[in-house]
Amino acid sequence: MSESRSIHPLNPSRRRLLKAGGALMTLLVTPVGMAQSAARILAVRVWPSRDYTRITLEGADLLKYNFQIVKNPERLVIDLEGVEFDSMLQSLPDKISETDPYIRLIRAGRNRPGVVRLVVELKSEISPQVFSLPPAGSYGHRLVLDLYPTVEADPLMALIEKRSPEDAVIGSGKPGAAEDNPFRISRDSARSPATPAANDRPARISRPSLQLITIALDPGHGGEDPGAIGARGTYEKTVTLEIGRRLKAKIDAEPNMRAMLTRDADFFVPLGQRVEKARRVQADLFVSIHADAFIRPDARGSSVFVLSDRGATSTAARWLANKENSADLIGGVNLGVKDSHLAKTLLDLSQTATLNDSMKVAKAVLSELGGINQLHKGSVEQASFAVLKAPDIPSMLVETAFISNPEEEKRLTDDAYQDKMADAMLRGIKRYFAKNPPLNRNKVALKD
């Protein structure tokens, strides 16, 4: 016996519900639906420098990726999964400068459904570091591509090459030709150039008594890390670099001094690498330059800090040190790469002589700063700044002024004030070295 069933037509409300569900399923499997679920790129940034070039892709969510190096010609290929090729990624090729030391150009486009491919055409072989960063500061999820040269530049050789004895000009008639050189020859010690040898190689000028004082200048922040931002939009990283450049020029003009910058452009340098750069050039002094902010806009004045092995001397000093020590989180450090120099930069509390010298030079500089600006505190402060932890180099951190104070922010962007700040710092440094000559290990012996 067969069973018969009667089929009733759907009521109008149920029919509309099924249609809506079907439309939703269609949306999820079509390209339009994929675009709605794709990871969204918030920003793309490129930071070129001689040290390395960084490309940053910032997303609202974690970006999935694969990368590979392709040879002949040299290329770095990155596949971004689940990302739509939108206007933000389309703008990336336009951000590459012809002067970039490592990137020739970037090509970007859809490689296959749901995958965007970036092809970075390189000027030479590189050693890439590609890594993700969790949200930090004002940034979302970041995918970072750091393109390093395969042979790391030696900062000491670069410093020597820039200031070689052959660069000294004697009797050239050019104003300031010799004054720019730390190997400058005084009129009493100048002598006629030696007769060229048979191989026509230029003879070097002997200065056996010359002792060069090497100073590492560290403009705070840079690149992905803007530092503090003033009410008028001034970046701390911009101010510190400008003052650092001015101070370097003044130091290089001294007859027995030379300076190196831990960064000479707008790029990020991890805190540990800043210290390591100073140690590699056998610096006699490390000066970190800042223009920070405080929670109150009325905070004002210049300050000088040295390292503390017993805790901060004030609540504000502790707050500031914690803020500065977070720079690596904001700037973005590849935690997957072990720093072989890290152990060398840790503080050895037995190095009391280094801490004592740091206090001496800090007092001299603070005294000079008081002549051009109000002092935030009348004495040198101490806190556990990571960037001051070189065990063998006297180190200080100079807060030129509070960028969070509208009046001081305006002064910090003024060329004349920046020059006065550099002059004051130089006077303090010279006062210190006049009474505390550097160790003999940094004495330069130049032979014919």
290 vs 165 pLDDT, higher one: 290
Answer yes or no: is pLDDT of 8 > 90: no
Element (H, E) at 304: strand 303-307
> What is the distance between the alpha carbons of residues 223 and 238, in angstroms, rounded to a whole number?
10
Whether residue 108 contacts residue 118, with contact meaning beta carbons closer than 8 Å, is answered with yes
In the chain, CATH 3.40.630.40 sits at: 213-333+340-442
Per residue in 36-52, pLDDT tens? Answer: 467 889 999 999 999 99
pLDDT, mean of residues 192-214: 47
Whole-number Å distance between alpha carbons of 435 and 448 = 31
Listed in order, strand segments (DSSP E) in 53-151 are 53-59, 64-70, 75-81, 103-112, 115-122, 126-133, 141-149
User: Is the per-residue pLDDT at 441 higher than 90?
Assistant: no
- Most confident region among 1-10, 109-118, 121-130, 295-304 by mean pLDDT: 121-130
Q: How many helices (H) and strands (E) does the chain have?
A: 12, 14
pLDDT value at residue 351: 59
Instruction: Give 259's strand partners.
Output: 215
Burial class for 268, CB neighbours closer than 10 Å (0-12, 13-18, 19+): buried
Averaged over 307-329, what is the pLDDT? 71
Give the per-residue pLDDT at 153.
72
Residues of the chain above pLDDT 90, percent: 53
- Mean residue pLDDT of the chain comes to 78
Query: What's the pLDDT band for 219 if we cut at 50, 70, 90?
Result: very high
> For 419-441, what is the mean pLDDT?
90
According to the model, what pLDDT value does residue 172 have?
31
* Domain 213-333+340-442, CATH: 3.40.630.40
Question: Predicted confidence band at 294 (pLDDT cuts at 50, 70, 90)?
Answer: confident
Among 65-74, 160-169, 353-362, 435-444, name the most confident range: 65-74
106-118 average pLDDT score: 92
Confidence band (pLDDT; 50, 70, 90) for 53? very high
State the virtual CA torsion across 202, 203, 209, 210 in degrees, nearest 10: 0
Q: Are strands 141-149 and 53-59 parallel, antiparallel or unpaired?
A: antiparallel
Within the chain, all domains assigned CATH 2.60.40.3500 are found at 37-149
When the candidates are 3.30.499.10, 2.40.30.10, 2.60.40.3500, 3.10.450.50, the CATH number that belongs to 37-149 is 2.60.40.3500
Which pLDDT band holds residue 311 (cuts at 50, 70, 90)? low
Structure tokens at 39: 């990871």
Q: Strand 115-122 vs strand 213-219: parallel, antiparallel, or unpaired? A: unpaired
Supply φ then ψ for residue 263, to 5 degrees: -145, 135
312: confidence class by pLDDT, cuts 50, 70, 90: low
| 110-139 mean pLDDT | 93
The predicted model gives 342-360 an average pLDDT of 64
Q: E-strand spans in 332-447?
A: 381-383, 395-399
Q: Is the pLDDT of residue 364 over 60?
A: yes
In this model, does residue 195 exceed pLDDT 50?
A: no
For the segment 200-217, the average pLDDT, to the nearest whole number, is 60
Three-state DSSP class for residue 140:
coil
Q: Is there a contact between 122 and 75 (Cβ–Cβ < 8 Å)? A: yes
H or E segment to which residue 238 belongs: helix 236-252
Integer Cα distance of 321 and 161 in angstroms: 36
More confident residue, 427 or 439: 427
Averaged pLDDT, 150-172: 55
